[in-house]
Structure formats: structure tokens, C-alpha cells
Chain A
Amino acid sequence: MNRGIFQSHVRRTPAGFTLLEMSSAMSVLLILAVALVVMLQQHVLFMEMFRRQSFLTVEAPKIGNLIGRIINHTDHYFVYGSKADALAGAQPVLTGGSAVRLFFKSADQETEERLIAVEPTAAGNALRFYSWRADGSETSWTISNRIANAQFSSDQGILNVMLQGPNGEEVTYGGGAR
């Protein structure tokens, strides 16, 4: 019994690794760590790229869908330099407008008016839709607050809405041909 314990102590081998083994292991771990960091950086870069492209992939189609549904039902329209000009009934413009007054024919042949205007926000600009209740009070909702700018123009009889994204993107929707 005692002999066995004694034998195990006698046959002890030196623990640990040699300097060469440690150096090799650390070098390889370092290479692996660098490779993983590079992969992570690349992934972050791609994610950032996708985030920057989200205006054209996500936001612009939604705005285009909403704008198209609205302006394609318009009977006629006038483009103005600003929302204040539109509300004041100033001289309409053909290009470079920041607001557009839209006129719709209701079922009882009454003319209803709506307004779409570009308004400054803390983060840039927003595209807002305005309408008025029967008592004359104003109500509005935001079409998008992720645009850098938007411009309305009337060209060859159609209403164009050029949307500018936060990273220099540009896309133009058309309609209002009735």
C-alpha cells in the first residue's frame, strides 16, 4: 500500500510546458484572436453599410407608396415655395417647391383641400400631411421624418416629389396625372 504511494511520488515528471510550446501556443492564439477581430470589424462595417442604405431599401418605398396613393387621387394641385406660402395662397412655383396643395373631388362633388409640406425637425426634415376638420381646425400626420429634404415640382403636367436621403440618396416619384 505504502509502496504504491511512494512509487507515484518517485516517478513525478516535470509539470508545465517549455518556452517553445508556450510561444507557439500564444502565437497561434494571437493569430486566431486577430482573425476574429478582423471578422468582427468586417461584420460591423457591413452592418453600418446596410444601415446607411436603409433609406433606399426601407424608407423610400414606404414614402413612395404613401405619396403615390395620395397624389394619384388628386384632381389638381399647386406647388409652393414653402408651407407659409401655400397657406397664404402666394404665387405657386413650378420647381423647387417645399409644399404642395392638393385638391380632391369628394363623392358629392365638393372640393377638399390637403397639404403636404417639408418641415424642419431636430434631426433634419420631415414630410407632413395636413388636413382641416369641418370646424376649421388643423390636423396632421407625419409621412416620414427620415428624409434630409424633399422637393416638389410640376413637370410636363405631372407632380414630381424628389426625396433626398440622409446620405446623399435621391429618388423621385411621380403622379398627379388626373
Chain B
Amino acid sequence: MATVGRALLILALAVAFYGVAASIYGAVRGRDEWIASGRRSVYAIAALVTGAFAILEVAFLRSDFSFATVASHSSTTTPTFYKGAAAWSSQEGSLLLWLWLLSLWSSLVLFATRRQLRRVAPYATAVLLGFAAFFAGLLVFRETPFELLAVVPPEGNGLNPLLRHPSMMIHPPMLYSGYTLFTIPFAFAIGALITRQVGAADWIRATRRFALGAWLFLGIGILLGARWSYAELGWGGYWAWDPVENASLLPWLTGTAFIHSIMIQEKRGMLKIWNVSLVLATGTLAILGTFLVRSGILDSIHAFGASTLGVPFVILIGILIASSVGLVVLRRNELRSENRLDSLLSREAIFLLNNLVLVAMAFVVFWGTFWPLIAEALTGTRRALGPPWFDKYTVPLAIVLVLLSGIGPVIAWRKATVSNARRNFLLPAAAAFALGAVLAALGAADRPLALAMFVCGAFVVASVGQEFWRGVGVRRAMTGENPLAALRSLVARNRRRYGGYLVHVGMALLFVGVAASTAFNDARDVRLAPGQSVRSGDYTFTYERATSRISTHDGELEKISFGAVVDVSRDGRHVTTMRPERGYYPSRDLRGLGPVGRFFEGEATSEIGLDAGLRRDIWTAMTPDIRRLLPTIEEGDRVFAAAAGKLPPALEGQALGAALEGIVDKYLADRPQATFRVISSPLVTWIWIGSIVVFLGGLIALWPGPDAARRKVTARYAARVAEDLGRA
């Protein structure tokens, strides 16, 4: 099947090249049949890549180790749940996932617009097919997932234990959906620039939903990554300003700016240069994010390591930047605003300010991420900027952003009067300041930035709450519905508005969680012997006793775990018992390693102890001290080396099991010390709750409105406008 898979990718590459040519020829000559043929090329690529992806997935699920990628990223002992996800844990598999998602989303948008956008769509098709050709080219010439091994190994290397987390099943598809969906507004913007249609509302209307979908998927992907980091990486944080994390944040920030400012273009015909620049930058940053993960140019625990993909990506990014800048300069006359800002006290002005803050944040993140390369170019020494540098700039910007997300909903479009603004701000501001005063009295004044974030977050919740309250009141006055029905119909009739408001509330909750858990967390790294304790915040962590166990899967030794039973108490009262562990997986690379020693030279993962609550999280991870075991491990390896070939395999397996049991028992008998990281951190759960609220709000905003209702309302307004026309 590998031959078929490879052939499907070659075919996809050929079809992509053909489709680019057919689309451009059709657009230039005005030939509908060529345009349709180009569009069908996208559908064909989607089908071909679906076939290739299915072949790879089947190979993973069947543990077909004749595929090199299956042998190096899966094993017979990998749980089936993770075998499916193992396909995209490799460089080549994740590239195939990227191409697959790109082809599916491209097909969807081109099918939806097949009778529209006569001038723009063919060029957009060519751009999307250009992306498809690039990724298909990489898969055919550089990183093929269908490479076969000359000698089929009996067992594979297995999935990296760190990736065995439910978030990792969903995180990459979400992230890549975000990236690939952002290429759609990018492609249509290029088409609109080429055809001088950039001021048109038509292409924006057709692709706005895709931009919103991209924003939502990318956001979910980023948050799932944060959750994985918190639960799996054993350092107790959810965001480390790692280059690859930053790379996914960059297009999300500019995409957030775009989905706000595009509303101003839709309504007022303003900010055309700004909007088109944002959408082009977002598309380019999505490719840049993909490049950073793959090229290995920046050190990251998330990257695939050094690869040969850097040069093609740099060329692609160069082409994207040059063509984007060139087209914007060439079309500057068509990009002039139709209107001017009526007042600085208007929602447009707030959106503009919000855009500036978001772009400033993106710039800070970009600068900090690429600083190692910039420093190396300037000084010859590579120096990375750590979290304090990022926090110094992003925290004040985030506070302003949250504040603006509370102001936006309570201020009118075009022009708000001071008296109205005062009336709308009074209640939310009073609530926010009251909360701020209470928190300051409770001691939060020691952390002014965190306190400012709490006040701003409360302001957002209060202002959006007031909007919902008033909206429901209006609906009830109009229809006499009960409050719940009024709320439902209010949201259903204004999905964009109220979905967006919910997103603001979710973001405020998320930022409050981040501020609280960053400013008020108490993290301790301490070495303890059984019976010893350490305090973190109000909690006392007592290392009660050591644990150890051997895990098997399908009769094979999977890992050895050394852990601890930790009692957590507060004011002498038992709160919870946690069982953090460190799991040691055997190295698959047997060179120079003995059968016992290889268990301690492979991957190691942390199983954390976590007691999460609405008010605080108690978190712990441990690293056992196994130095005392090393002589025993070396002795075991020597014994097995001496007995090599003298024992039948079954007996050798039994002997190895007994040796490992002995090591596990010795660990317990030694009453070993261990290094613990203990953290008590407030409001972390609100980060995840806020994320869920953001997700729900995004879904509401994204959900198509009821056509019938829209037509009815449109007809009603049309009649009124027609009436005005009659009077004029």
C-alpha cells in the first residue's frame, strides 16, 4: 500500500500544478470551464490526500513496521487510542495532516463559493493550490511518510511517552485546522488584490466565517497545548514562552485583530489597507508557525528537531511576504478608506485601539521569539529571552486589551455621547472598583498588575452582563417572552454580537486565571526524605512513603515507575493525598545498553499529583533519587551480558522480570529521598473555564443564523428603507 500512498501524493502534486495553471488561465481568459476544472483539482486533491492519509493511518493501526515512520513512532504496545494519533507525531505524518486539512477546508470554501466571486475565486483557488503543491512537494521529495524499510523490525520504537495524553490526540489537528483555515482569507485577499476587488464586501462575507473558524480552532489548539504542558510536562506551568508556543500565538493575535477590524470595513468601508495587511500577515504567520516547528532553527521542546525543510519554507515565506507587500503597494489607490472616524468615543475607535494593542503584542512576541537569531546575527552569540522579558511587555498590554474588551460592548458605533457613555459605564465601573477595593484590602495591592487585571476582568463581566440584561429587557418588552426565552431569541437573532460578548467574558476569565496563578502562586523545589514536609502557600506537603511498580502491556514490560505518596494538609487538617510518579520507559536504541540499564536511559515522564478546584490548584511532581540503584543496575547488566546466549529467550525474559522486581523492591527498601516540586496556585481552573466560555461564544458567533428569520428582518428593513426612498 505504500506504493499506492506515494503514487497518490505524486498525483496530488501533479494535480495541484495543473490546477494552478487552469485557474489562472481560466481567470485571465474568462473561461468558466477552466475555472471549474481548477476548482475540481482541489476536490481531487482532497480525495487523493484522504486516500494517502487513510493508508498511513491503517499502517499505524495495524503496526505495519515495514513503514519507516510507523517503526519509529509506534509499537505493538502503543495503545490503539494513541496509534491513531501517532501518525502526526512524526514530521512526515504531520505534514500529511497539514496537506489533508488544507485540501478539505479549501474544498469546502470553494464549493460554498462555486457560483460566486467570479473574479476573485479563481486566483484564490490558484493560491490555495500553490500551498497544496508546496506541501505535496515536501511530502514527495523531502519527507515521505511512505518510505519502506529494507528489513522489517519485529517491534517499533513506540510513541514518545510525553505525547501519550488525550490533549495530544486533538491538539495538532486543531492547530493545523487553524493554520490551514487562515490560508483561506489569505488566498481570497490575494485574489481580491489582483482583481482590484479588495474593497468589496462580497469576498469578506464569503470568507469571514472561515477566519472566525481559524481563530477558534487555533485558540483551542493553543489551549489544549497549555493544558498538556500543565498536566504532562512536570514543571507546573501552562505557558513558557517557548518559540513553538509563540509561533502559534502570533497568527492568533493578528487574526484576533483582523476579525475585529474587518467589521469596521464591512460597516464603514474603512481600514482597508490595515485589514488586508492583517489578513496577509496572519496567513504568512501561519506558515511561519509551521516552519518554526519543522525547521529546528530555534530550540524548543515542541519542535521536530533539525530537518532539511528550512530552506523550502524560507523561500515560501519570502514569496508570501514579497507578493503581499507588492500587491498592497500596487493597489494602494483601491485601498483608500471610504469614510473617516466620526469620533474617538465610538466602537470603531475602541476596535482600532484594540487592534493596535494586539499588533503590539504580536510584535513583542515576534521580537522575543526571533531574538536568538537576531542576537546571533549581530553579536555571533545566540541568546534567548526568557519569560520575564515577555511578561514585562505583554502583561500591561494584556491588561489594556481586557479593559478594551469591556468598553467595546457598552459603547455605540459611530459616535457615543459622554452622557450615554457615563450612564453605560457607571454600573460596570462601580462593580469593578468595588471588587478592586475589596481585593486590595485583602492584600492584592502587593501585586498591582494582577489587581489591575482583576479589576478589568470584573469590568468586562459586569459590562457584558449589563448588555445581556438590557438586551433581554428589550426582547421582553417587544415580545412579552419569559426571560429565558427572551435570552435565547436575543442570542439567536444576534449571534455575532452576543457570541462575541461571551468570548470577551471567557477571555476575561482566562486572563484573571493567568494573573492570579502567576502572581500568587507559591512554587517550591525541595528534596525530601520520607516523613519530611514542605509548605507551599497554606498547605503542608508531607512525603509519606515511596512507591514503585512495573507496568506491562500485552505481556511486555512497558515502564518502571518510582513515585511517592504525598499527604496534603491545611492547618493540620487532611486535604488530599497525591501520588506523583516518574515513569521510565526502556530505550529502544540498544547500542551500548544492557537489558536492565536501558530502562533508565530512555524517555521518562512525570505523572503529576493534582487537586484542582475553583479557588486553587494543588500540584506536585517528583523526581526520584535513583543513584543508589545504579550499582545494582550495572551488576544486573553484567550478569545478563555474561549469560547472553546461554538462556532460552523465555527464561531470559523471566530472569529480566525478576531482576527488575528486585530493583523495584530495593528502591522501596532504601527509603529513598526524592526531589519534589510543589505548587499551590489560585484560580488556575478559571483558565480552563474561561477557555470553554470562549469556545462556546466562538461557536455561537460562528453558527449560521436562521435564514428565514434573517430574510424576514431584512424584508422588514428593506420595506422601511423603501418607504424612506418613497418619501425622498
Do these two chains interact? no
